[in-house]
Structure 1
């Protein structure tokens, strides 16, 4: 591979914003890709994948390069040189790469990767927490899996098309996909591609949604004609899946504290041809109280640490703090207490997170079931998904039924 100056500069500029200014990696990369209209798909892939790669392995590369945050541009070039050297890429004769100790880099890599926190490039506190919650053997496998690049998974929108038809349309666009056993509406891309430019996407034939995430709506066991409330709907990935499973029959009420996310859901619902979704921003407690004992099904896709999805958000490793996890656990229990009251007698509730930590998952459900409100529910089943076993995002979901 030959390095091109303008692409490397884009990566360095992106890393400056992500590491030194705390910007979100996905937003930074979106902006970087608009920088030069002459860039082809390979150029853009280089910028996106190299930036994500260096973000993912920041701690390891910085340790090898012997630099500390905040990183000035010279330090970022040193980190870049480590990335290139470890990939066997010939460094060009640029001033940034003068005196790069390539043999020393390889030696340091071999030495540091004997220790998990460097090998997997994670903060000390996160390594300790993973061991405490999952045990050394499982945590070692799980964090290794969470450092791999995520596959691109599509969810077929059955309101508009079939899996076979979508596969054919994408194949005509030069995009090859394959089915995944156990995931009825999922298609996996054989090679990464910009699926958002396709006519199939513009026509609402699919959404990009990880395979594990697709299991949540299935777990809720919705039927056409039900009243379903998605309490933390966000931009509505799972809401749209529920709409397709309900065949546009019945009512879905999508709640969220962020009105802008619900506006995005409205746009997506229109493209998807999902007409049974009503959005309601939670501007006061009245919004939720009006729904008490009214829903056949309630989904609580709770805010969480997001540790199950760091394959696609590698900068979360550096933004996440232990204090946040303790705070979010309090919020999770409050949400369970409040939103469980929406379920009508005989109805069902799914509590879900994209976390792999038992303290955010099974422990929260167990705690809830011991409370006065929780005693009105019976535990039906739950499912813990770990990346190293599934190959997809880490997730948790629990199904509870309200006593009649």
Structure 2
């Protein structure tokens, strides 16, 4: 591979923003990619994928390069040198790479590869927590899968088209996709492409949504005439999926504590042609009280650690702290306790997270069922998705019936 100095400089600059300035990886990369309009799709892809790769393996590369945070520019260049050597490419004859110890890099990699926390590049506390909750064997397999680059998966918007037709229209744009029978609306890109720039996306024929995430809305078992609440709707990925399943009939009440996310949901709903969604900002407990016992279905896509989606957000493992996980578990139980009241007798709810930790999943459901608020509910079914078994992001979902 022939490297271009300006592309690696852009990568180093993005890494500085992520590691030293605390920027989110996707935002830092988007900002860097706007720097030079002459960059083509291949150049932009190189910057993004190289940056994500080094973020993913920060601990390993920093250890091999013998550098520590906060990283100086020279330290970040040394980490890119490690990336180049371990990818099997020849080091460019640039000033930044003068006297790069290629043999030492390979030797240190061989030494560290036998130690999971270095090989898979994970903080000590997270490694210990996940071993305690999942066991050595399962966590080792799952962590390796979480370090693989995530596929780009589309969800067909069945309000406007069907999967077969969408696949053909994408093929006409030279965007090849594959299908998976487990996910009836999903199209998986064979090669990464900027699908957001296509007219098909602008016309609302699809959304970008991981296949694992696409299992949650159907798990709620909604029908077209029901009254449904999406309690932590955010920007509305699952809300839009519910609208499509319900064929724009019935009512979906989408709530969130963040107004800006609900504004984004409205924008996406217009593009998708989803007309049965009403958004409500949670600014007090009155919003929930008004809906007591009135909803046929409730979706709680709860805030969580996000450990199940580290493939998609590799910088999260460097931003997460053990204190946050304890705090979020308290929040999860509070949400279950307060929102479950909206479910009518004979109705049901789904509690879901993008975490693989039993303490955020089965543990929360068990605690809820033992509480006064959960005494009228019974667990119908639960399901876990794991990256190393299912090939997509990690999720948990449980469906509970109100007796």
**CA deviation digits over 1:161-205, x for unaligned, max 9?**
011110011001110011112111011011111111111101000
Moved over 2 A (4+): none
Q: How does 1:371-386 map to 2 (within 5 A)?
A: 371-386=371-386
Measured in 2, the distance between the counterparts of 1:139 and 1:382 equals 20
Other-structure match for 1:160: 160
Shift of 1:94: 1.1
Does 1:354 pair with 2:354?
Answer: yes
Other-structure match for 1:239: 239
Other-structure match for 1:18: 18
What secondary structure does 2:229 align onto?
Answer: strand
Does 1:275 pair with 2:275?
Answer: yes
Q: How does 1:205-354 map to 2 (within 5 A)?
A: 205-354=205-354
Measured in 2, the distance between the counterparts of 1:125 and 1:325 equals 11
**CA deviation digits over 1:144-172, x for unaligned, max 9?**
00000000110000000011110011001
Other-structure match for 2:370: 370
What secondary structure does 2:364 align onto?
Answer: helix
Other-structure match for 1:50: 50
What secondary structure does 1:400 align onto?
Answer: strand
Shift of 1:33: 1.4
Measured in 1, the distance between the counterparts of 2:253 and 2:32 equals 37
Other-structure match for 2:68: 68
What secondary structure does 2:22 align onto?
Answer: coil
**CA deviation digits over 1:280-339, x for unaligned, max 9?**
010111111111101000000000000000101000010000000000000000000000
What secondary structure does 1:207 align onto?
Answer: strand
**CA deviation digits over 1:46-103, x for unaligned, max 9?**
0000000000000000000000000000100111100011112222111110111000
Other-structure match for 1:150: 150
**CA deviation digits over 1:204-262, x for unaligned, max 9?**
00000000100000100000011000000000000000000000000000000000000
- TM (norm. structure 2) is 0.99
Measured in 2, the distance between the counterparts of 1:267 and 1:34 equals 24
Measured in 1, the distance between the counterparts of 2:338 and 2:17 equals 39
Measured in 2, the distance between the counterparts of 1:86 and 1:181 equals 36
Measured in 1, the distance between the counterparts of 2:245 and 2:70 equals 48
Q: How does 1:389-400 map to 2 (within 5 A)?
A: 389-400=389-400
Measured in 1, the distance between the counterparts of 2:222 and 2:29 equals 37
RMSD: 0.5
Measured in 1, the distance between the counterparts of 2:179 and 2:386 equals 20
Measured in 2, the distance between the counterparts of 1:221 and 1:379 equals 15
Measured in 2, the distance between the counterparts of 1:102 and 1:378 equals 60
What secondary structure does 1:184 align onto?
Answer: coil
Q: How does 1:46-125 map to 2 (within 5 A)?
A: 46-125=46-125
Other-structure match for 1:4: 4
Measured in 2, the distance between the counterparts of 1:138 and 1:231 equals 32
What secondary structure does 1:69 align onto?
Answer: coil
Structure 2 stretches lacking a partner, 5+ long: none
Measured in 1, the distance between the counterparts of 2:240 and 2:144 equals 31
Measured in 1, the distance between the counterparts of 2:12 and 2:265 equals 34
- TM (norm. structure 1) is 0.99
Measured in 2, the distance between the counterparts of 1:13 and 1:38 equals 18
Other-structure match for 2:37: 37
Shift of 1:31: 1.1
Shift of 1:2: 0.9
Measured in 2, the distance between the counterparts of 1:383 and 1:301 equals 14
Measured in 2, the distance between the counterparts of 1:385 and 1:126 equals 20
